[in-house]
Structure 1
Amino acid sequence: MNTIVTSKEEILKTSRELMQQQGWSAVHIRSVAAACGVSVGSIYNYFSSKTELVGAIVESVWCEIFHRPEDEAAFQDIQTCIAWMYERMEYGCKRYPGFFALHSLGFMPEDKPDGRRRMQQIWEHILDGLCAVLKRDTNIRPDAFDEQFTAEKFADALFSLMLSALQRQEYDPSVVLEIVRRTLY
């Protein structure tokens, strides 16, 4: 058995492939080590615990799903951005069936805070991106936001709608896009 893995990224890539082929429940230290062709100890050289491995895998999947496209046009206006996000949600659900519904179960109760922290970081990144797009979208009328109704609050509402759509496995952004049109234009 090969006991040298070239990187954490290689372990995470193999873990994502394992999840894609066999589902979330197939991902644990022994199965990841076997898929990588290394000893369990080799995995522990990169991840101090199952929780750290699971957290890194969850983060890795979220990052793959919502990676920035090479075509920056997706971030020029909020409507295009929302359409892109819903496409990526559908991609994620097809590529990693059950991931969005099940990944939080991969953490033991005592490890939930680390899982929540990782998810919060990813979600903050997505929210920051939505806010940035809202603020640079030249199609939004100038008086759309004020002190009570801020771009940050609207981004939070959009993100909540996105999470709700993920739970329902509904990838048609038309209702959300209509809300955006009626609210901001």
Structure 2
Amino acid sequence: MNLPITSKEQIISVCQRLAKEKGLSSISMRAVAAECNVSVGAIYNYFPSKSELLCAAIESIWKDIFHMTQEPFEFTDFIECLSWLFESIQRGSRKYPQFLSSHAMALASEDKAIGQQMMANYFVHLKTNLEEVLKNDTKIRKDAFSQSLSPALFVDYIFQLFLASIVGANQDYQGILELAGRYLY
């Protein structure tokens, strides 16, 4: 006998499993309630709308992909950290098929601003940590940065390339790693 699921964390876990097995489009109040062995009303007690449920599910998947915490990345080598990010995306793509291409479209149009803000928050978190790793990488040449190319701007450029590579069909990041490595070291 399956016991009913009664916590927000357990509901999100069910959403993650549904996203892995069937994609984000399979997440609905009814489907989640059925998987949790509770009434639809019980899901509404935790999530007042499908959009809030989807936002919470998407957020949990991003955190799972990048192992996000409040702590900065524990890397001392920028290229190693960047490689880890790319590999995390590739692992996440295998774990959650179609997530990267569908999560932005999963929310209703009126909730796109919420989804965009969520993504912006993740990206700020990632870029802040990348910049911190860059500043702590002792192997970087002393003249790598100037007034016109700061570490923050360099991270921004690399992050733009990172985003372009993860949404592209190729998803090859070796060139970006080589570009960054040749410039920095």
Asked whether the two chains share a fold, i.e. TM above 0.5, the reply is: yes
Distance of 1:169 and 1:89 partners within structure 2: 13
Question: Which residue is equivalent to 1:33?
Answer: 33
Superposition RMSD in Å: 2.2
Q: Is the 8 A contact 2:28 2:50 kept in 1?
A: yes
Residues 44-123 of structure 1: pairs in structure 2 closer than 5 A: 44-67=44-67, 75-123=75-123
Deviation at residue 6 of structure 1 after TM alignment: 3.7
Overall identity of the aligned pairs, in %: 40
Secondary structure class of the residue paired with 1:97: coil
The one-letter code matched in structure 2 to 1:81 is C
Comparing 36-45 with 167-176, greater Cα deviation is found at: 167-176
Secondary structure class of the residue paired with 2:143: coil
Aligned residues: 183
Specify every segment of 5 or more residues in structure 2 that has no aligned partner in the other structure, as ranges: none
Question: Which residue is equivalent to 2:130?
Answer: 130
Distance of 1:125 and 1:147 partners within structure 2: 24
Distance of 1:14 and 1:112 partners within structure 2: 23
Distance of 2:66 and 2:170 partners within structure 1: 17
Specify every segment of 5 or more residues in structure 1 that has no aligned partner in the other structure, as ranges: none
Alpha-carbon displacement from aligned partner over 1:21-52 (angstroms, at most 9, x marks no partner):
11121111111111112111111111111111
Question: Which residue is equivalent to 2:139?
Answer: 139
Q: Is the 8 A contact 1:5 1:11 kept in 2?
A: yes
The one-letter code matched in structure 1 to 2:98 is G
Q: Is the 8 A contact 1:74 1:84 kept in 2?
A: no
Q: Is the 8 A contact 2:29 2:50 kept in 1?
A: yes
Distance of 2:132 and 2:90 partners within structure 1: 23
Distance of 1:3 and 1:74 partners within structure 2: 39
Distance of 1:16 and 1:103 partners within structure 2: 12
Secondary structure class of the residue paired with 2:149: coil
Question: Which residue is equivalent to 2:148?
Answer: 148
TM-score (norm 2): 0.90
Q: Is the 8 A contact 1:2 1:38 kept in 2?
A: no
The one-letter code matched in structure 2 to 1:13 is S
Distance of 2:74 and 2:160 partners within structure 1: 20
